């Protein structure tokens, strides 16, 4: 096989030879010329839809990526996969499908690329689960591939974003806003295309994937509607053809050190707790050992440097204006906190990509210097204890304090907890326990953005904690602990809590405990009964049957 033939490792099996005439006939009908059959085929996996601002513009980015692949000598073929909107489904039964969609996206890209024999592909994502879903497919298929982030939204009026609306609901319930004021916020917070504007899950995962080496430099830090983002998409198409020429596959990029780089950048940016769940899942797809303890280990030496929403002040568009994440990565690299010898989709190492990156402007206030961090170690705190023997994930920035002891207020599901918060039944000193929201019990591990936003909107963020076997939106802030494992549906200790139990969370000792002795917990366990499953057929039932613990990334192929 010649070097040129090697670029067509997969497509040649689909279109070459006398016996593949029928396949060629089908492809002629969709626009293939005779010359196209000799070119490497590059799939363009688009998550376009008009159901969410995050993805409404991605068709134009897919077109740009296809053009880049074609002009580099490939034959692009565009196909779609799904998205769902976390922001729209939040607080409703539909949110159960959010994490499920990550698996559907990964499965569908793997299915199309594998079935059609694409030699490489570009994957373009906008909403939260698009990023890890695309990256999981890239890792599984191990064909030359580049991820493109759809880009961030512009701030709304008075620098508002979607979290402004969620928190306004809590303020309205507390009597701090009128109906007219709430409506005005609702109408002006989302001005157009792009993913939610803080360091929420979409921007966190886009940054982590760039740090991992699967995106072109600065792909994570571009406005959705900009020439820079169109150029990034075009360049990604060409980059896949270059990777085919060089013979570089994701397995050459996704080493353990690449995941450590992703964790480091996530911490420095004060990113979403969802990064823990998603990086574990991508590592599983890549066959790279990664555990909760790796986040704890790295977190001891990496500071929080970005003053970004939700805990901080600034939006992603403002970080873009001063240079994006590349100068931050250069700072981390120079400090010995990144592995510079990791290969990336440019065909160069991370250190080579960062060699000529200029520092941030001196007057900027978004990214702190290493000598003056927001927090000297990670805000992503991995907790263990008699309430979470297999681990839990807290987002503790320091603004909330480093420990909390309070009285359990237990709720079966998000809706019951939200109603109690909005009705003023949750008070200072309470620990809101939202259970049966784990990967199996939810199913789907819903995000608790509505309850946490209601707590913040009522002015209780410093006085109330919330723990759950579900998870949190990247927009959540306050004293919040999620991913409690084992989950309640599996009989974990969170299922055994009772109103009035004293719960302590300590970020310095990394513990989460309930002041109930082992004998009493065993008595309660003997009396506990698993509730009926939420779904008994369809995708939610299949997901609940297959999904792993959150501490393993909530993947659906762990035991296969």
- Taking the C-alpha atoms of residue 440 and residue 534, their distance in angstroms, rounded to an integer, is 9
C-alpha 248: how far from chain center: 25
Q: Among 373, 378, 210, which residue's Cα sits nearest to residue 293?
A: 378
Question: Cα 89–92–93 angle (5° rounding)?
Answer: 105
- Residues 515, 387 contacting (CB under 8 angstroms): no
Q: Among 279, 284, 259, which residue's Cα sits nearest to residue 483?
A: 279
Two tokens, residue 227 = 């020439």
Q: Which of 12, 207, 473, 549 is catalytic?
A: 473
Question: CB-based burial of residue 556 (10 Å sphere; 0-12 exposed, 13-18 middle, 19+ buried)?
Answer: buried
Q: Among 45, 39, 47, 33, which residue's Cα sits nearest to residue 70?
A: 39
- Residues 431, 479 contacting (CB under 8 angstroms): no
- Active-site residue flag, 473: yes
Cβ-Cβ contacts under 8 Å for 260 (sequence gap 6 or more): 294, 298, 339
Cβ-Cβ contacts under 8 Å for 111 (sequence gap 6 or more): none
- Residues 127, 241 contacting (CB under 8 angstroms): no
The DSSP symbol for 512 reads E
- Taking the C-alpha atoms of residue 353 and residue 57, their distance in angstroms, rounded to an integer, is 28
C-alpha 488: how far from chain center: 24
Question: CB-based burial of residue 510 (10 Å sphere; 0-12 exposed, 13-18 middle, 19+ buried)?
Answer: middle
- Taking the C-alpha atoms of residue 490 and residue 500, their distance in angstroms, rounded to an integer, is 23
Two tokens, residue 373 = 């961090």
How would you classify the pairing of strands 145-149 and 120-125?
parallel
- Taking the C-alpha atoms of residue 66 and residue 79, their distance in angstroms, rounded to an integer, is 11
- Taking the C-alpha atoms of residue 95 and residue 105, their distance in angstroms, rounded to an integer, is 16
- Taking the C-alpha atoms of residue 179 and residue 553, their distance in angstroms, rounded to an integer, is 41
Q: Which three-class secondary structure state does DSSP give residue 267?
A: helix
Q: Among 46, 51, 42, which residue's Cα sits nearest to residue 63?
A: 46
The DSSP symbol for 154 reads P
How would you classify the pairing of strands 479-485 and 511-514?
unpaired
The distance between the two most distant Cα atoms of the chain, rounded to a whole number of Å, is 76
- Taking the C-alpha atoms of residue 422 and residue 455, their distance in angstroms, rounded to an integer, is 8
- Residues 264, 332 contacting (CB under 8 angstroms): yes
Q: Which residue numbers are catalytic?
A: 473
């Amino acid at each position: 096989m010649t070097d040129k033939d090697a670029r067509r490792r997969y497509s040649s099996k689909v279109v070459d030879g006398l016996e593949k005439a029928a396949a060629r006939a089908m492809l002629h009908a969709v626009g293939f010329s005779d010359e196209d059959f000799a070119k490497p085929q590059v799939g363009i996996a688009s998550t376009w839809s008009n159901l969410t601002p995050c993805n409404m513009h991605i068709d134009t980015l897919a077109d740009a990526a296809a053009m880049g692949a074609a002009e580099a000598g490939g034959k692009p073929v565009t196909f779609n996969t799904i998205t769902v909107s976390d922001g729209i489904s939040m607080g409703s039964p539909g949110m159960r499908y959010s994490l499920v969609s990550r698996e559907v996206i990964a499965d569908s890209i793997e299915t199309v690329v594998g079935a059609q024999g694409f030699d490489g592909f570009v994957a373009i994502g906008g909403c939260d689960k698009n990023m890890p879903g695309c990256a999981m497919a890239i890792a599984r298929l191990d064909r030359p591939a580049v991820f493109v982030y759809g880009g961030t939204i512009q701030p709304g009026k008075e620098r508002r974003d979607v979290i402004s609306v969620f928190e306004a609901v809590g303020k309205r319930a507390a009597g701090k806003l009128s109906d007219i004021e709430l409506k005005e916020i609702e109408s002006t917070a989302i001005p157009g295309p792009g993913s939610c504007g803080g360091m929420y899950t979409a921007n966190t995962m886009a940054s982590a994937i760039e740090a991992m080496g699967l995106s072109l430099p600065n792909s994570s830090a571009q406005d959705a509607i900009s020439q820079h983002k169109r150029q990034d998409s075009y360049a990604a198409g060409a980059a896949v053809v270059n990777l085919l020429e060089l013979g570089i596959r994701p397995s050459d990029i996704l080493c353990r050190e690449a995941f450590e780089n992703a964790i480091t950048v996530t911490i420095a940016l004060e990113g979403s707790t969802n990064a823990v769940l998603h990086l574990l899942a991508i590592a599983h797809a890549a066959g790279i050992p990664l555990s909760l303890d790796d986040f704890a280990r790295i977190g001891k030496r990496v500071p929080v440097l970005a003053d970004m929403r939700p805990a901080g002040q600034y939006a992603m568009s403002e970080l873009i204006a001063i240079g994006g994440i590349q100068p931050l990565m250069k700072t981390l690299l120079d400090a010995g906190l990144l592995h510079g010898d990791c290969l990336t989709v440019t065909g160069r190492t991370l250190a080579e990509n960062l060699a000529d990156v200029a520092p941030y402007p001196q007057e900027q206030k978004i990214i702190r210097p290493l000598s003056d961090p927001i927090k000297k170690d990670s805000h992503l705190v991995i907790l263990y204890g008699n309430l979470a023997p297999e681990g839990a994930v807290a987002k503790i920035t320091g603004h909330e304090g480093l420990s909390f002891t309070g009285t359990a207020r237990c709720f079966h599901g998000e809706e019951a907890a939200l109603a109690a918060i909005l009705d003023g039944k949750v008070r200072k000193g309470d620990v809101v326990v939202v259970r049966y929201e784990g990967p199996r019990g939810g199913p789907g591990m819903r995000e608790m953005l509505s309850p946490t936003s209601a707590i913040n909107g009522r002015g209780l963020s410093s006085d109330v904690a919330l723990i759950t076997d579900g998870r949190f939106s990247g927009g959540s802030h306050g004293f919040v602990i999620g991913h409690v494992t084992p989950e309640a549906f599996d009989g974990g200790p969170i299922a055994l809590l009772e109103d009035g139990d004293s719960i302590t969370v300590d970020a310095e000792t990394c513990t989460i405990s309930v002041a109930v002795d082992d004998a009493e917990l065993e008595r309660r366990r003997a009396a506990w009964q698993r509730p009926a499953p939420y779904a008994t057929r369809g995708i939610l039932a299949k997901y609940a049957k297959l999904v792993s613990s959150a501490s393993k990334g909530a993947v659906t192929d762990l035991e296969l």
